[in-house]
Structure formats: C-alpha cells, structure tokens
A and B are shown apart, each in its own frame.
Chain A
C-alpha cells in the first residue's frame, strides 16, 4: 500500500528499518533474555538524527511531529518492541516540554534530547493511581524558590536510565485533578532515587522502575505550564503518544507476521509447505488484513494530529486500541502457525507475543481508551 509519505518521511522510515534489521534484530532475543538496556542502539539512532525526528529544527531536531515519531517506533518495534521503547519512552517524557515548555525550558532540554545525548521519561503512574490518575499521592510543596517533592512513582519506562523526568505531582490536594502540576526533574537531583528494576513479562530490554522522591528540591523554573495544569499536561501528552504505542504494536505485529509467513513457506508437513494449506493461508490473510487496517488508522491519526487540529483524544485512543488488539491477535496467531517452534525462546515470535501484551495495558488500558472514545462520541453528538 502506498501511504504517500513525503521524501523525508520515507528517508526516516528506511533508515530506521535499516538500523532495526542490521543492529536490533540480531540482538533482540539476547537483550530480552538479559533485560539489557539498549544504550548501544541509541547511539546509532542518535548519530543518524533519528532521536530528534519529532523535535523542532530550532532545537536541533528534524522538525517532524507525531507521524515521524511513529514511523521510527514502528520500524524499530518490527525488530524489538522493548528496544524501541528507549526511543518511544523518551518521546513520552519529551512531549510535555514540547507542548508546554517555556522557551528557556525548551532551549535547555530539547537540543540534548534531539541529539540523543539525553533520554527522557514520563512519571504519572503510582501504586494507587493507574487508570484513575486522580489518585496521585506524590506531593510538590512550594518552598521559596523551590518545590519540594515527596512520594513514589511506579512502573516508569526508562526509569533510572533517563536523564530528564517529567513528573506529575499534587500541589493542591483539595482541587483534585485540578490540583496537579507537572515538573521537570533532572537525574542526579538530591532526593530522587530509583527503586528496583522490574522483572517484566515482555518489553524486557526496556528499563522499568520506581522513582522515589524524598524531600527532592527542584527549582521553581522547572514547573511546566502553571500550577494546576498537571492533569492537562498529562492528557495532552498522552493524546500525542498513544499513536506511538499504536505504532509500537503495529511494528510488533508486522515483525511476527513476517516471521510466520517466512516459516509457513519453509516448513513442510505432509510433503508440502504448510503455506499451501488453506487453514494456514486464511490465518495469514486475516493477519495481513488487520495489520494493514491498523496501519491505515495509525498513519491517518498521526496526520490528523500533526495537522494541528484540536480534538484528537478519540482518534488517538482508537488507533491505540485497534493496533494493540491487532498486535495481540497477530502475535498469538504467529505463534500458532509456527507451532512448537513458535513457542520456543530460540525464535522471536513468543517474545513478540509477550511484548504485544503491554500495548493493550500501558498509556491507558484499552478499557480506559474505550471510555475516552465513548465519552467523546457522546459529547460530539450532544454538541450537534
């Protein structure tokens, strides 16, 4: 299918694909097994300018948007959804600065992120604040020229590895979600420490850990937007990164499909390749249909968002739900087609099936996404 990418988008996609095939695919199984963070891979992305695809050229990026970010995530995820997350998680931590940062904050942080010298992370989730983000307990109390942060953030992607954290904390308990604020916290700030690295089912090359704030003093100029804007910062950010999760899911699904198709042509049973059996053919056809449909939705959603239109929550949620459900289905079927080989850790598809699962869960479970979609639908119909 011709997606009419611009010449620059085509370049970005091809270069990301080359790095995925030549550098990520050969190490994906090992990094998954060892839970190894892909510092070396980030170096390749940085040197080829891919770290800054979604950052304004004023700050050293390539001036693209959500679409360019998604193209990179998709290609990297085709080889490994976990390794891709070092890049995608940085996008999640960076969008609050892109969307709400002051000129000073942008000048201070974006050039290093665009150059791949620094990674970022986004810290919203807590033990009691998941789907119900309003349950945040971490506090930020103003004290002279500082805010003092206390509390613990949980399951933070790129935690411990990232240099720059955007953190949502409560500045006014009485105001509920309107009492949250967003802050930039640099690694190395006294009072910020990291908990143990989580032992996960999938995306194991990605670092996930707790962020522990104990009287962590950060300068007031690290407040993003205004006090009380934290929830909005988080929601507007997630609207732009959910297509990234969708792209990750799309990449994982594509990788699994490619493996299954190749295997089906090579594997012989009853004296012929299993790709000659209609049962397998129909599975392959269904997988391809779903992937192509997901790609259409993800790409078009990215274009919709990058056009600067205001209402994007529903579309972003739809792309995320559809692509992640597709990834789960396609990876499961890929394991099925590959049979016993598919189930073995020597081959990459069982890992893809484990990696796919998280895309239905994080950045808002698919159940929460459906809430978002339904609420928007009802709101829209009332407006009409």
Chain B
C-alpha cells in the first residue's frame, strides 16, 4: 500500500513574525517544527505500513529549510521524503497549497491513502486536507480518530464528532485527516536517526511537477490576508465582596442586569 503523508513546517511558538507586505508568516526566522498534528499523521502512516505492508512518503510544500525537518521523519519509519519548493509557491493560501500538493502527489505515482493532520497550528484552517481530496478527485474523511480496517481499495474509520464518532467507509484511494486521539507518535530510533542522517530529501520545483504557476503561490491564492496578529487575551475579573448574603445579592443583581437570568 502506498501511503502519502502531507506535512507542514510551522513556527515552534505562537508568537511569530509577519511580513508586513504580504501579511504572511516569515518562516525563515522562527524556530521551525513539523506541525504537531502531522506527527500523528506520520505515525498512523507508519503503523498502516507495519500492519499491511507498503511504503510511506512524506510530502511538503515549503521553503528549502523544510528539507531538514522532512529528513528527520525517516528516523520514525518514513521511507521517502519529498519537498516541493519554488519561489512560485510562496504566499500560497489553502487553495494554491492543495493544488500544488495535488500536483506533487500525482507526480509521485500511484497512491492508496493520503493522510494529513487535521489542521496546522499556524493557520488553523483545516482546509488543505479536504481541498486536496477535491483536487485529486478522491473521497475524504476529516478528524479520523481510528482506522478500524484497511485493505486493498477499502478503508473503514472512525470520524470524531462533538458528541461521539461516526463510522465511515470509503474506497481507496482516499484522503483522511487525523486528530491526536488516533495514536501516540513514537520516539525516533537511533538506527533510524543514523539512516536519516544519510538520507537525501527529494526536491521538486514547479516545473518538475508540471504545475501551472498561475495557480500556485500568491498568484493562485484568492485569499488576501488583511491583518495577522496574536490575539491578546484580556479577562477582567471583578471581585464581589461582603458577607455571603451580600455577595449573593450583588451577584444576582449583576446576573439580572447582564440579562443572563430573568426575573419571573
């Protein structure tokens, strides 16, 4: 079974620098990590491979430095790592990203299962997985918390919902996005790390994957980001003082005046 895992490089902290002109994240300066949700996707890919055989390829669209992070995935059981990088890909929104990824994945050849993290911790849109499935013309299920069964041409999985889960069956090839409940990512092994050290990440540009550059990067992105900022959480607390009776009275008045409760 050919398994493809899509990963994204994200800043290691939520406090990041923004390019004022394009309003996109300056990825060169922030400490980079693999999007935490994608770690679960990688682990699930490796587990599926261990259970039913096959190979796992990670793919990412990103800056050249992302190759270092991709290389590390070899240490946890990934077989191949591919980086799509090109100036033409810069400034991509989720639409352009999923187009570029879809072209890269098609270039890789046959695939059975594509796994993405449910969302990235920087943009938090959760759009690339489903959008990628649309671009490839295959079915998808989001928020998968368990693969119940997987075999040639078939997958049955549990999709997490707010109050439980749904069981979804799909033909393969298909895309799933996974939540952190699905597994516990393993530690890299020393032998894996030694293998990763020697591994060379495959680098592909727009031409290599036959991408139409008008659909890539900022050109292919209908989204315009007006402003990006780290929200300031200000919670004001008002202490109600007095005896228990007085406090109860003041609290009741407050709740009434704020219309949280109504008098009969």
B-binding residues in A (CB < 8 A): 7-8, 11-12, 15, 18-19, 44, 47-50, 53, 62
Select the stretch in B12-20, B99-107, B184-192, B216-224 that faces chain A: B184-192
Does B193 reach chain A (CB closer than 8 Å)? Answer: yes
B189 lies within 8 A of A47 (CB): yes
Q: List 30 A-B contacts (CB under 8 A).
A: A7-B197, A8-B190, A8-B194, A11-B190, A11-B193, A11-B194, A12-B190, A15-B187, A15-B188, A15-B190, A15-B193, A18-B187, A19-B187, A44-B187, A47-B186, A47-B187, A47-B189, A48-B186, A48-B187, A48-B188, A48-B189, A48-B190, A49-B189, A49-B190, A49-B191, A49-B192, A50-B190, A53-B190, A62-B190, A62-B191
Distance between A350 CB and nearest chain B CB, rounded to angstroms: 30
Query: Using Cβ atoms and an 8 Å threshold, which residues of chain B touch A8?
Result: 190, 194
Top 3 closest A-B pairs, CB basis? A49-B190, A48-B187, A49-B189
Distance between A101 CB and nearest chain B CB, rounded to angstroms: 23
CA distance A53 to B193 in the complex (A): 14
Interface residues of chain B: helix, strand, loop or mixed (majority): helix
Distance between B25 CB and nearest chain A CB, rounded to angstroms: 27
Query: Using Cβ atoms and an 8 Å threshold, which residues of chain B touch A53?
Result: 190
Closest B residue, CB atoms, query A60: B191
Distance between B50 CB and nearest chain A CB, rounded to angstroms: 12
Query: Using Cβ atoms and an 8 Å threshold, which residues of chain B touch A50?
Result: 190
Query: Using Cβ atoms and an 8 Å threshold, which residues of chain A touch B193?
Result: 11, 15
Give 1 or 0 for each of B197-210: 1 = CB within 8 Å of chain A CB.
Answer: 10000000000000
CA distance A50 to B191 in the complex (A): 10
Query: Using Cβ atoms and an 8 Å threshold, which residues of chain A touch B197?
Result: 7
Query: Using Cβ atoms and an 8 Å threshold, which residues of chain A touch B190?
Result: 8, 11-12, 15, 48-50, 53, 62
Distance between A111 CB and nearest chain B CB, rounded to angstroms: 14
Distance between A228 CB and nearest chain B CB, rounded to angstroms: 39
Closest B residue, CB atoms, query A19: B187
CA distance A19 to B191 in the complex (A): 16
Interface residues of chain A: helix, strand, loop or mixed (majority): helix
CA distance A212 to B94 in the complex (A): 67
Query: Using Cβ atoms and an 8 Å threshold, which residues of chain B touch A62?
Result: 190-191
* Residue of A7, A44, A49, A62 with most partner-chain B CB within 10 A: A49
List 15 other contacts, CB 8 Å, given A47-B187, A47-B189, A48-B186: A7-B197, A8-B190, A8-B194, A11-B190, A11-B194, A15-B187, A15-B190, A15-B193, A44-B187, A48-B189, A48-B190, A49-B189, A49-B192, A50-B190, A53-B190
CA distance A200 to B192 in the complex (A): 38
User: Among residues 72 to 130 in chain B, which have CB atoms less than 8 Å away from a CB atom of chain A?
Assistant: none
Distance between B191 CB and nearest chain A CB, rounded to angstroms: 5
Give 1 or 0 for each of B153-193: 1 = CB within 8 Å of chain A CB.
Answer: 00000000000000000000000000000000011111111
CA distance A63 to B189 in the complex (A): 15
CA distance A15 to B191 in the complex (A): 12
Closest B residue, CB atoms, query A50: B190
Distance between A309 CB and nearest chain B CB, rounded to angstroms: 26
Query: Using Cβ atoms and an 8 Å threshold, which residues of chain B touch A47?
Result: 186-187, 189
Closest B residue, CB atoms, query A12: B190
CA distance A152 to B194 in the complex (A): 45
Query: Using Cβ atoms and an 8 Å threshold, which residues of chain A touch B191?
Result: 49, 62
Distance between A110 CB and nearest chain B CB, rounded to angstroms: 16
* Residue of B186, B187, B194 with most partner-chain A CB within 10 A: B187
* Residue of B186, B191, B192, B197 with most partner-chain A CB within 10 A: B191
Closest A residue, CB atoms, query B193: A11
Query: Using Cβ atoms and an 8 Å threshold, which residues of chain B touch A12?
Result: 190
CA distance A47 to B187 in the complex (A): 7
Closest B residue, CB atoms, query A53: B190
Query: Using Cβ atoms and an 8 Å threshold, which residues of chain A touch B186?
Result: 47-48
Distance between A41 CB and nearest chain B CB, rounded to angstroms: 12
CA distance A302 to B14 in the complex (A): 43
Closest A residue, CB atoms, query B190: A49
Query: Using Cβ atoms and an 8 Å threshold, which residues of chain B touch A7?
Result: 197
CA distance A15 to B193 in the complex (A): 10
Query: Using Cβ atoms and an 8 Å threshold, which residues of chain B touch A49?
Result: 189-192
CA distance A15 to B197 in the complex (A): 15
CA distance A47 to B193 in the complex (A): 13
CA distance A50 to B189 in the complex (A): 8
Give 1 or 0 for each of B133-157: 1 = CB within 8 Å of chain A CB.
Answer: 0000000000000000000000000
CA distance A53 to B194 in the complex (A): 13
CA distance A11 to B189 in the complex (A): 10
